[in-house]
Structure 1
Amino acid sequence: MLAIGMDVHSSKTTAYAVPLEESDLNMCAIAEDFNKSFRNFNSDRPGYAKVASFLEGIEHCILIENSTKSHEVFWIMSDLDLTVVVAHATDLFRITKSVKKTDQHDCYELAHYMRRRMLGEFEFAECLMVDRRWMDRRQLCRAYAWESEMLSDTRRQIKSYMLLRGIRIENMTRDITSVSNLKALDLIADDTLSLLLTRARDFKNRILACEKAIRKEFSDDEMFALLFTVPGFGLITTAYIVSMVVDINRFRNDKAFAAYFGIVPAQRESANSAPRCPITRRGDETARKMILQSTFVHIKTDRDKLSPITQMYDRLIKRGIPHKKALTAAGNKMARMVFTILKNKEPYKF
């Protein structure tokens, strides 16, 4: 059996193979031939097809680092019946902390990471590689998040420009880009303000289009329907979290689920000391922010204080814990509650 490391770049891939058992002379010879043939080849389907042809009938496992190219490469190699594992790059310390930054060195280390993994050592976390449909769902939600962020920037620019020019409108609503506000601003707009108003309308139209597409895409998704019952979780947050989870059964427990979104304390132990640490912030940053924002909305809208999330947050605030830390702790509890809801397939009941 061969353990193979591949250092993948946009145009070229470097590969290196080692036998699982060094005493297997036949596999040693095959690995040597592989290394001569695939020291450097094109990162496209024909290039990986040659690798698949060479490895036909040979047991193998290929390790690549997670990157912007990894999904495309994973899909290609999976279609060619190659066995591929994708590792979180942050776990590959022999590469990230190495002073030797060459493609050959990296694929050599990847091959030995894979070999040790096959022999029972678990030095890195394996990435979930979703299929094209789930990736399209994620990208749709990310497109909405990007458009929403750009609209927020435009709102700030409009407000700043109005202050600079002393522009005021009567009965202005809180959202400066609401329909009524935009109509009022059109009457007094100069060239610069007109440009900002046009941008705001364009962003809002694209956001509405994204919302419509998301509703259609997740209309028959069971996890989406369950999570949408939680107060504070809106359309976009629910869709984005579901697109990151994909399969709730891949998480061991609620703690692992919270850790996936980086809402757990980091570990830093020395001798008999185990100090309190900030959260790990691992995983998808947008998903983590959405969970914390939804937790805040959940707390603010729970006027009767019936939710255990709200009760926990209030207890921490009364003890003098700062808002940000209390909200993070509540976000951890919220993530664990979300896991329970999705795992047991029972809607929110509190």
Structure 2
Amino acid sequence: MYYVGLDGHKDIAVFCIQTNSGTVKEIFSTSADPKGMDELIMKMKGKIYKVLAEASTYTTDLHDYFVIRGVDSYLANPRKLKLITESNSKTDRNDALELANYLRLWDKGELKLSISYIVMGEDRSLRELCRYRMAVSKSKGETMQKIKAHMRRNAEYMDTENLDSRGAMNEIRFRFGDDFILMQLIDDYMLFDTKGNNLDREIEKMCQHREDVKLLTTIPGIGTTTAAEIMSMIVDIGRFGSADRLRAFFGMAPKVRDSSKTVSHGHITRMGDSMMRFVLGLAVNNHCRFCPEGHIARYKRSHKGAMKAGVLMVACENKLLDLIYVILKRKTPYEQR
């Protein structure tokens, strides 16, 4: 068995080939493209080997290329590779060497590595589409805040605080059309609104035959876009052996400190995708509004005032993740309890 560490960059990839005993056979650099990856494949022809790289923008495509060609390739979570990122002797050759060494020790069960789950094909397309949809939604909300702030500073008042509708936008154009900056902000807002609607239609088109997305839409307050955004991260519920692991994946599990006889639980880890925690928060609020007698809404009402707002929201988000886990695992629609 050979172990190959890959340190990938925009234009250059550095490989370190290590034997089963830890001896470095070769370190070489090549282009960070399919031609460069073929160079390694040719060198290792007839040999059994594995490849490890740090997950990044410049290694995902290289990893995909290896996987398609049957190479046993892995991407490690960069947050877990602190020995590389914090090393004083950080060079491309040293990084490739360390990655090869980590891979060898991990394969022998002597070291724990956090291997990233890399989605491919339609799952990756859906994830990227949903990420872009969330970014557009965020930009739309920020633009609305800029509109409201600009109008307040310039004493441009409206009879209603709800400026989200197209009717309100048209009225603003009619009444304050001479305000160039405001008109530009309105144009930006309408652009993001149109983009969001187009993306929603594309997401619905991609998910029209996905049973997991359909199951999540049975939860009151969760539409197709939100369900797709959640599933774009989960991908396959079979990856998670329990609801605890699903919560940990979303960064909603508490930090645990175990020292001697003392065990303490701190704030949530916040690992994973921050955008998805934002989506979970929106989903909880929508669910409580559309299902006021559901167990999450009742819990939120009964603990309001007794818990800090942020702590209460985290608890409700965890309950929603528990609900999502059960629905997907059992493949049964939502039932109010």
Please indicate, yes or no, whether the TM-score normalized by the shorter chain is above 0.5: yes
| CA offsets 1:84-114 (integer angstroms, 9 cap, x no match) | 0111111123213322221111111111110
Choose 120-129 or 324-333, whichever is displaced more: 120-129
Corresponding position of 1:237: 226
Contact 1:211 1:236 (C-alpha < 8 Å) held by counterparts: yes
Corresponding position of 1:189: 177
Aligned identity (percent) is 25
The separation in 1 between residues aligned to 2:51 and 2:251, in whole angstroms, is 27
Corresponding position of 1:344: 330
The separation in 2 between residues aligned to 1:119 and 1:327, in whole angstroms, is 42
The separation in 2 between residues aligned to 1:76 and 1:330, in whole angstroms, is 41
Unaligned runs of 5+ in 2: none
Q: Following TM superposition, by how much is the alpha carbon of 1:132 offset from its aligned partner in structure 2, in angstroms?
A: 2.9
Corresponding position of 1:25: none
Q: Following TM superposition, by how much is the alpha carbon of 1:21 offset from its aligned partner in structure 2, in angstroms?
A: 3.3
Corresponding position of 2:311: 325
Corresponding position of 2:235: 246
| CA offsets 1:4-44 (integer angstroms, 9 cap, x no match) | 1111111111111211235xxxxx5xx52x43xxx211100
Counterpart among 89, 104, 115 of residue 115 in structure 1: 104
Contact 1:173 1:181 (C-alpha < 8 Å) held by counterparts: no
Q: Which amino acid aligns with 1:232?
A: G
The separation in 2 between residues aligned to 1:100 and 1:295, in whole angstroms, is 47
Counterpart among 185, 189, 196 of residue 207 in structure 1: 196
Contact 1:91 1:124 (C-alpha < 8 Å) held by counterparts: yes
Alpha-carbon spacing, 1:99–1:272, altered in 2? closer, same or farther (3 Å): farther
Q: Which amino acid aligns with 1:333?
A: K
Contact 2:214 2:224 (C-alpha < 8 Å) held by counterparts: no
Corresponding position of 1:268: 257
Corresponding position of 2:244: 255
Alpha-carbon spacing, 1:109–1:226, altered in 2? closer, same or farther (3 Å): same
Q: Following TM superposition, by how much is the alpha carbon of 1:315 offset from its aligned partner in structure 2, in angstroms?
A: 4.5
Contact 2:221 2:291 (C-alpha < 8 Å) held by counterparts: no
Contact 1:52 1:81 (C-alpha < 8 Å) held by counterparts: no
Counterpart among 164, 180, 202 of residue 177 in structure 1: 164
The separation in 2 between residues aligned to 1:259 and 1:153, in whole angstroms, is 29
The separation in 2 between residues aligned to 1:15 and 1:289, in whole angstroms, is 38
Contact 1:2 1:60 (C-alpha < 8 Å) held by counterparts: yes
Corresponding position of 2:75: 86
Contact 1:4 1:62 (C-alpha < 8 Å) held by counterparts: yes
Q: Following TM superposition, by how much is the alpha carbon of 1:77 offset from its aligned partner in structure 2, in angstroms?
A: 1.5
The separation in 1 between residues aligned to 2:301 and 2:86, in whole angstroms, is 43
Matches within 5 A, 1:305-316: 307-316=294-303
Corresponding position of 1:146: 135
Corresponding position of 2:2: 2
Contact 1:296 1:327 (C-alpha < 8 Å) held by counterparts: no
Q: Which amino acid aligns with 1:286?
A: M
Choose 120-129 or 45-54, whichever is displaced more: 120-129
The separation in 1 between residues aligned to 2:304 and 2:64, in whole angstroms, is 48
Corresponding position of 1:64: 53
Q: Which amino acid aligns with 1:17?
A: I
Alpha-carbon spacing, 1:70–1:232, altered in 2? closer, same or farther (3 Å): farther
Alpha-carbon spacing, 1:166–1:317, altered in 2? closer, same or farther (3 Å): closer
Unaligned runs of 5+ in 1: 23-27
Q: Following TM superposition, by how much is the alpha carbon of 1:297 offset from its aligned partner in structure 2, in angstroms?
A: 2.5
SS at match of 1:282: coil
SS at match of 2:259: coil
The alignment covers a number of residue pairs equal to 334
Q: Which amino acid aligns with 2:157?
A: R
Corresponding position of 2:144: 155
Q: Which amino acid aligns with 1:189?
A: G
Higher strand share: 2
Corresponding position of 2:291: 302
Q: Following TM superposition, by how much is the alpha carbon of 1:45 offset from its aligned partner in structure 2, in angstroms?
A: 0.4
The separation in 2 between residues aligned to 1:302 and 1:146, in whole angstroms, is 27
Contact 1:7 1:103 (C-alpha < 8 Å) held by counterparts: yes
- RMSD over aligned CA atoms reads 1.7
The separation in 2 between residues aligned to 1:204 and 1:293, in whole angstroms, is 18
Q: Which amino acid aligns with 2:330?
A: N
The separation in 1 between residues aligned to 2:280 and 2:111, in whole angstroms, is 29
The separation in 2 between residues aligned to 1:179 and 1:272, in whole angstroms, is 61
